């Protein structure tokens, strides 16, 4: 018997089988690839024909991922980037020319917004005349509806007038001072109408604010003539700026260990001044339905773009008088014509509503801070350390 030839009887047939299998797989792959390529072209051509015939709707091909843009404004995705106007301003435009001259001239870089009634017209006029038109846009929020009574003032036609009966400046500012609208202004003065400005110069004030790095500020109050509610706002004679108030006796003490309002990092609501960056935060802090905004002032420091103990302060060298006039709250909604008895009868209701809104705001803040697991209170740990050291 001949011995079994292992090489010719086993290895060679096995090698042939493998070569045949690989050749078969390669052929199948080529056929499948040709099929899918041909199908994609055919399908694309088929869809294009149907689109031309109006049988189906064809959207343009999706752009590659390299064209995807971050922070695209909502609603503008369908527009080319160069045509998207992300911000606005309060500049009025002429109807009868191209506006080339106005574009070349210097635009005001700050905004003065005041809630006004016609009975305080003379006081408001003195305020506005202090603010040079070359540096400030003036916006009046008319809570009494009497716009015609302002027409005889020289600056009135250049001011922005917004009217809504019996609404506060916080109601107006939430609806008409969106950060995208006032993005062109470096500082926003959001003032009441009952302020005397004999000892106040806006340019000197802003010079001090910039020098001191104040993102949120207010002019100090003349203690001899103003209605005072909080000692921190009282002018300190001989000082340029102060950020802290001291009280060593009684309840609510304020000393060098204090880190929170009303001892430090706080301004009152009658004459606040906000930088552009701080206003972008404050606008979101204003609650749409809490129009009196009581309690908001205690949280303004979170919008100070850093340490509220440094970036929030009261300017002493440029000070004002707060008259504390009870202007809101007439029974018929016409502040300018209402008599004092009408206003006096409604003031308790206004104050009660303000107090109730403050409690609602405080509750919302506590609940929001508790529910947001990603938010860290930058001042909580600081307060705990100071309390432990006492």
For residue range 53-93, list pLDDT tens digits in order: 454 444 455 555 556 666 777 888 888 888 888 888 888 88
E strand residue ranges, the chain: 110-116, 136-142, 160-163, 187-191, 195-196, 216-221, 241-242, 273-275, 312-322
* pLDDT above 80 (res 39): no
pLDDT in tens, 130-153: 999 999 999 999 999 999 999 999
Which whole-number Å values give the CA distances from 231 to 222, 262, 322, in the listed order?
11, 9, 13
Q: Is 244 helix (H, G, I), strand (E, B) or coil?
A: strand
Nearest CA-CA partner of 76 in 66, 87, 65: 87
pLDDT of residue 150: 97
Pairwise CA distance, residues 87 & 84, whole Å? 9
pLDDT of residue 198: 97
- Residue 246, CA atoms < 13 Å, CB-side half-sphere: 5
Arithmetic mean of pLDDT over the chain: 83
* pLDDT above 50 (res 4): no
Pairwise CA distance, residues 264 & 242, whole Å? 9
Higher pLDDT, 69 or 368: 368
User: Which pLDDT band holds residue 276 (cuts at 50, 70, 90)?
Assistant: very high
Higher pLDDT, 339 or 28: 28
* pLDDT above 50 (res 331): no
User: Are residues 136 and 112 in contact, defined by beta-carbon separation less than 8 angstroms?
Assistant: yes
Could you please state the CATH topology (level 3) that the domain comprising 104-389 is classified under. Answer: Spore Coat Polysaccharide Biosynthesis Protein SpsA; Chain A (3.90.550)
pLDDT of residue 332: 41
Total Cβ atoms within 10 A of residue 292: 20
Record the tokens describing residue 238, joined without a space. Answer: 């001989």
* pLDDT above 90 (res 174): yes
pLDDT of residue 302: 95
Q: Is 108 helix (H, G, I), strand (E, B) or coil?
A: coil
pLDDT in tens, 103-133: 556 788 999 999 999 999 999 999 999 999 9
Total Cβ atoms within 10 A of residue 321: 20
Higher pLDDT, 387 or 291: 291
Please give the average per-residue pLDDT across 85-102, as a whole number. 75
Strand bridging mode 187-191 / 110-116: parallel
User: Which pLDDT band holds residue 99 (cuts at 50, 70, 90)?
Assistant: low
Pairwise CA distance, residues 1 & 140, whole Å? 119
pLDDT of residue 151: 95
Nearest CA-CA partner of 192 in 108, 123, 283, 261: 123
pLDDT of residue 50: 46
pLDDT of residue 337: 43
Pairwise CA distance, residues 145 & 147, whole Å? 6
Pairwise CA distance, residues 258 & 305, whole Å? 20
Which whole-number Å values give the CA distances from 73 to 62, 83, 84, 188, 257, in the listed order?
19, 12, 9, 24, 44
Nearest CA-CA partner of 221 in 200, 203, 205: 200
| Residues facing 315 on adjacent strands | 219, 241
**Residues contacting 230, CB < 8 A, separation 6+:** 262, 266, 268
From the DSSP assignment, how many helices (H) and strands (E) are in the chain?
A: 10, 9
Higher pLDDT, 68 or 216: 216
Total Cβ atoms within 10 A of residue 64: 7
Please give the average per-residue pLDDT across 193-208, as a whole number. 97
Higher pLDDT, 239 or 55: 239
- Residue 349, CA atoms < 13 Å, CB-side half-sphere: 9
Please give the average per-residue pLDDT across 365-373, as a whole number. 94
pTM of the model: 0.77
pLDDT of residue 278: 98
* pLDDT above 60 (res 172): yes
Higher pLDDT, 214 or 31: 214
Pairwise CA distance, residues 182 & 78, whole Å? 25
User: Are residues 275 and 187 in contact, defined by beta-carbon separation less than 8 angstroms?
Assistant: yes
* pLDDT above 70 (res 3): no
pLDDT of residue 171: 97
* pLDDT above 50 (res 6): no
Nearest CA-CA partner of 192 in 251, 271, 128: 271
pLDDT in tens, 301-312: 999 999 999 999
Length of the chain: 390
Q: Is 313 helix (H, G, I), strand (E, B) or coil?
A: strand
User: Which pLDDT band holds residue 345 (cuts at 50, 70, 90)?
Assistant: low
Please give the average per-residue pLDDT across 338-346, as a whole number. 55
Question: Could you give the percent of the chain with pLDDT greater than 90?
Answer: 58
């Amino acid at each position: 018997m001949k011995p079994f030839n292992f090489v010719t009887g086993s290895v060679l047939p096995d090698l042939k089988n493998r070569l045949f299998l690989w050749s078969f797989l390669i052929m199948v792959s080529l056929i499948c690839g040709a099929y899918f390529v041909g199908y994609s072209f055919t399908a694309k051509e088929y869809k294009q024909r149907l689109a031309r015939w109006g049988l189906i709707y064809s959207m343009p091909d999706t752009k590659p991922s390299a064209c995807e843009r971050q922070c695209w404004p909502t609603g503008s995705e369908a527009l080319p980037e160069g045509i998207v106007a992300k911000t606005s301003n309060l500049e009025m435009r002429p109807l009868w020319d191209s506006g080339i001259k106005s574009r070349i001239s210097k635009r005001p870089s700050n905004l003065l917004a005041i809630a006004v009634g016609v009975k305080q017209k003379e006081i408001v006029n003195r305020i506005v005349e202090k603010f040079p038109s070359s540096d400030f846009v003036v916006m009046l929020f008319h809570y009494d509806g009497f716009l015609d009574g302002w027409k005889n003032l020289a600056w009135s036609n250049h001011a922005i007038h917004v009217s809504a009966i019996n609404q506060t400046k916080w109601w107006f500012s939430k609806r008409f001072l969106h950060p995208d609208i006032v993005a062109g202004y470096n500082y926003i003065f959001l003032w009441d109408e009952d302020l005397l400005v004999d000892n106040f110069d806006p340019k000197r004030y802003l010079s001090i604010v910039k020098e001191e790095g104040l993102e949120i500020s207010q002019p100090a109050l003349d203690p001899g003539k103003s209605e005072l509610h909080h000692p921190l706002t009282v002018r300190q004679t001989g000082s340029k700026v102060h950020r802290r108030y001291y009280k060593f006796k009684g309840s609510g003490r304020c000393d060098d260990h204090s880190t929170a309002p009303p001892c430090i990092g706080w301004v009152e609501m009658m004459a606040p001044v906000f930088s552009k960056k701080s206003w972008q935060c404050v606008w979101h802090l204003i609650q749409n339905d809490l129009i009196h905004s009581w309690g908001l002032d205690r949280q303004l420091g979170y919008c100070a773009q850093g340490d509220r103990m440094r970036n929030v302060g009261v300017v002493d060298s440029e000070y004002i008088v707060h008259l504390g006039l009870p202007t809101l709250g007439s029974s018929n909604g016409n502040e300018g014509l209402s008599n004092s008895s009408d206003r006096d009868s409604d003031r308790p209701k206004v104050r009660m509503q303000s107090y109730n809104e403050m409690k609602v705001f405080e509750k919302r803040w506590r609940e929001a801070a508790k529910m947001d697991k990603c938010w860290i209170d930058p001042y909580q740990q600081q307060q705990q350390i100071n309390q432990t050291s006492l």
